[in-house]
């Protein structure tokens, strides 16, 4: 909870510091602020406090997802220093909007009332509409922004209507109130309640890009400024899944028969479409977009399983996925910073010669995304699949494992480009901040793979 207040203050401060032209101090201030927020947030561990008439509830899941979001944001901010170097006109605006996005994400992982969920999602989304269009003169950025905005607010309409219908049936916005209502009226739930569940599902599925609500993903990822894409691909996924799981686990876990069959179909569609489409992508950002769709498909299995351990599964998976994705984007940004080349996978050709360090970290990231041991991606997948099997959905896991085999193909395309293809011979220098990010992500990926007990035992 304190995290939200401090971050809001930080966001406002960022705006004003910009006015008074302390641009140099901006980034260190934000980084220190975020680190402090992680510390303060960690102190709420095991306190399980309900805030403001149970509008927010910081249980251990909320605390750990918040920390994950903050940690990933720190990595993104570390990358931003160089990224915004050329364009400092609206630096403070960009930074403060990113901070407000983080606040929205934190609301989404800690809400205990549908009003907070709605506010969280909207804070996150509206900020992202702006960020996606923050390259004002680039047509691609404009298009991404408009597409995201129109489709996003369209999906919000459904989410909102769903919330209203749930309220109409149960008479409350509180998660535990809805849960009690479901348990009491288990046998005779009105139609509007079911429709409400489904509409909320649609609204949330849009945020985490589940087929057929995924269309925005590839276009928006491609068109947005690369740094923002990195931020969207990680923080939004974490918050979206945590919110989805929190709602469905708390309220609807006793009436799974009404939405789980649909989720199963959506998961299968998402996995196949994401993976198969990614195979033929030559644009690295688009490939990562479809890869993120396929990962959403895998993570949906945790929601289908709908158990307490699904939280660990999602936490591990989003952590491994985000860390690897940040690595991939950091390497892409670094190459682009040197050359202004396009986003094609060919950009990575001969990377092993130009910068063995970056090629190595990129390889770890790709292996992790492909789910090869001993990376975090493997363990996360293993945990997720084992969790799903123990809930009795073996057939889904069979399909998911098959899909991850397809995934290997396109992730290896990147490794092959880096190691086995001839490209420019010119050496790449690497900014210190990027080096730091790459070292952190590589170590984190390996740690998650070798010692996942660090996380699983804590929970």
Q: Smallest distance, Å, CB 113 to another protein? A: 9
Can residue 222 be called a binding residue for another protein (CB under 8 A)? Answer: yes
CA angle 52, 123, 33 (to 5 degrees): 75
Q: Smallest distance, Å, CB 258 to another protein? A: 7
Instruction: For residues 452 and 63, give the distance between their C-alpha atoms in angstroms, rounded to a whole number.
Output: 18
Residues 370, 375, 377, 378: is their CA dihedral positive or negative?
positive
Q: Give the per-residue contact string, 238-267, with another protein (x = CB under 8 A; - = no).
A: --------------------x--xx-----
Q: Which two tokens stand for residue 391?
A: 């809930």
Q: Smallest distance, Å, CB 193 to another protein? A: 12
Can residue 46 be called a binding residue for another protein (CB under 8 A)? Answer: no
* Residue with smaller CB distance to another protein, 24 or 425: 425
Contacts of another protein in 62-101 (CB under 8 A): none
Q: Smallest distance, Å, CB 81 to another protein? A: 26
* Residue with smaller CB distance to another protein, 147 or 336: 147
Q: Give the per-residue contact string, 167-206, with another protein (x = CB under 8 A; - = no).
A: xx--xxx------------------x-xx--xx-xx---x
One of 23, 147, 176, 353 touching another protein (CB under 8 A): 147
| 51 to 2, 55, 275: CA distances (angstroms) | 10, 6, 41
* Residue with smaller CB distance to another protein, 85 or 258: 258
Q: In terms of Cα–Cα distance, which of 202, 217, 204, 213 is closest to 132? A: 217
Distance of CA 32 to the CA centre of its chain: 23
One of 402, 426, 429, 439 touching another protein (CB under 8 A): 402
Can residue 346 be called a binding residue for another protein (CB under 8 A)? Answer: no
Q: Smallest distance, Å, CB 82 to another protein? A: 25
Q: Are strands 56-58 and 49-51 parallel, antiparallel or unpaired?
A: antiparallel
Interior/surface letters 360-373, b for 16+ CB within 10 angstroms, e for the rest: bbbbbbbbbbbbbe
* Residue with smaller CB distance to another protein, 23 or 353: 353
Can residue 12 be called a binding residue for another protein (CB under 8 A)? Answer: no
One of 38, 76, 126, 320 touching another protein (CB under 8 A): 126
* Residue with smaller CB distance to another protein, 37 or 230: 230
* Residue with smaller CB distance to another protein, 33 or 452: 452
Q: Smallest distance, Å, CB 21 to another protein? A: 25
Q: What is the 3-state secondary structure (H, E, C) of 17-52?
A: HHHCCCHHHHHHHHHHHHHHHHHHHHCCCCCCEEEC
One of 3, 233, 247, 278 touching another protein (CB under 8 A): 278
Can residue 452 be called a binding residue for another protein (CB under 8 A)? Answer: yes
Outline where 210-307 has alpha helix (H): 215-223, 226-231, 237-252, 260-279, 284-305
**Phi, psi of 355, rounded to the nearest 5 degrees:** -155, 90
Yes or no: say if 132 and 224 are a contact pair by the CB < 8 Å rule: yes
Can residue 382 be called a binding residue for another protein (CB under 8 A)? Answer: yes
Q: Smallest distance, Å, CB 151 to another protein? A: 6
Q: Smallest distance, Å, CB 202 to another protein? A: 5
**Region of 7-15, 16-24, 71-79, 448-456 interacting with another protein (CB under 8 A):** 448-456
Crossing angle (nearest 10°) for helices 139-170 and 191-207: 160
- Using DSSP, state whether 174 is helix, strand or coil: strand
Q: Which two tokens stand for residue 170?
A: 């149960």
Q: Smallest distance, Å, CB 454 to another protein? A: 10
Instruction: For residues 271 and 291, give the distance between their C-alpha atoms in angstroms, rounded to a whole number.
Output: 9
| 94 to 101, 236, 335: CA distances (angstroms) | 11, 17, 23
Q: Smallest distance, Å, CB 205 to another protein? A: 9
Can residue 42 be called a binding residue for another protein (CB under 8 A)? Answer: no
Q: Smallest distance, Å, CB 94 to another protein? A: 15
**Region of 84-92, 115-123, 227-235, 241-249 interacting with another protein (CB under 8 A):** 115-123
One of 28, 39, 356, 432 touching another protein (CB under 8 A): 356
Yes or no: say if 321 and 237 are a contact pair by the CB < 8 Å rule: yes
Can residue 373 be called a binding residue for another protein (CB under 8 A)? Answer: yes
CA dihedral (96, 99, 101, 104) in degrees, to 10, reads: -130
Partners of 174 in the β-ladder: 113
Instruction: For residues 339 and 351, give the distance between their C-alpha atoms in angstroms, rounded to a whole number.
Output: 13
Can residue 435 be called a binding residue for another protein (CB under 8 A)? Answer: no
């Amino acid at each position: 909870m304190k995290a939200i207040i401090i971050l809001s203050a930080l966001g406002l401060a960022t705006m004003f510091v910009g006015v008074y032209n302390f641009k140099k101090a901006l980034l260190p201030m934000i980084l220190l602020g975020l680190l402090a927020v992680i510390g303060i947030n960690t102190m709420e561990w095991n306190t399980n406090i309900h805030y403001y008439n149970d509008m927010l509830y910081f249980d251990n899941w909320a605390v750990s997802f918040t920390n994950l979001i903050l940690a990933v944001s720190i990595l993104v901010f570390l990358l931003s220093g160089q990224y915004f170097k050329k364009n400092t006109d609206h630096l403070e605006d960009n930074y403060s909007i990113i901070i407000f996005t983080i606040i929205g994400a934190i609301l989404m992982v800690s809400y205990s009332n549908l009003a907070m969920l709605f506010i969280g999602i909207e804070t996150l989304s509206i900020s992202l509409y702006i960020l996606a269009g923050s390259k004002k003169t680039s047509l691609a950025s404009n298009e991404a922004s408009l597409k995201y905005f129109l489709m996003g607010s369209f999906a919000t309409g459904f989410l909102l209507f769903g919330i209203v219908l749930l309220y109409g049936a149960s008479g409350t916005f509180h998660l535990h109130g809805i849960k009690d209502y479901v348990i009491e009226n288990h046998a005779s739930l009105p139609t509007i309640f079911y429709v409400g569940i489904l509409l909320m599902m649609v609204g949330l599925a849009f945020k985490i890009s589940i087929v057929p609500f995924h269309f925005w993903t590839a276009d928006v990822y491609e068109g947005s400024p690369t740094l923002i894409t990195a931020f969207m691909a990680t923080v939004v996924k974490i918050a979206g899944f945590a919110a989805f799981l929190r709602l469905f686990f708390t309220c609807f876990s006793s009436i799974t028969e009404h939405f789980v069959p649909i989720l199963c179909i959506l998961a299968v569609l998402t996995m196949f479409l994401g993976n198969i489409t990614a195979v033929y992508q030559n644009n690295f950002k688009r490939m990562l977009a479809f890869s993120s769709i396929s990962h959403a498909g895998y993570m949906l299995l945790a929601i289908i399983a709908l158990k307490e351990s699904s939280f660990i599964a999602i936490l591990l998976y989003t952590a491994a996925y985000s860390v690897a994705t940040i690595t991939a984007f950091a390497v892409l940004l670094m190459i682009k910073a040197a050359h202004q080349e396009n986003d094609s996978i060919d950009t990575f050709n001969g990377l092993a010669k130009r910068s063995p360090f970056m090629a190595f970290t990129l390889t770890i990231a790709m292996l992790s995304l492909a789910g090869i041991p001993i990376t975090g991606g493997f363990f996360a997948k293993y945990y997720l699949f084992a969790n799903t099997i123990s809930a009795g959905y073996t057939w889904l896991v069979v399909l998911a494992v098959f899909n991850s085999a397809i995934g290997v193909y396109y992730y290896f395309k990147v490794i092959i480009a880096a190691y086995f293809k001839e490209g420019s011979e010119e050496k790449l220098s690497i900014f210190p901040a990027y080096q730091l990010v790459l070292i952190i992500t590589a170590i984190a990926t390996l740690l998650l793979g070798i010692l996942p007990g660090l996380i699983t035992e804590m929970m």
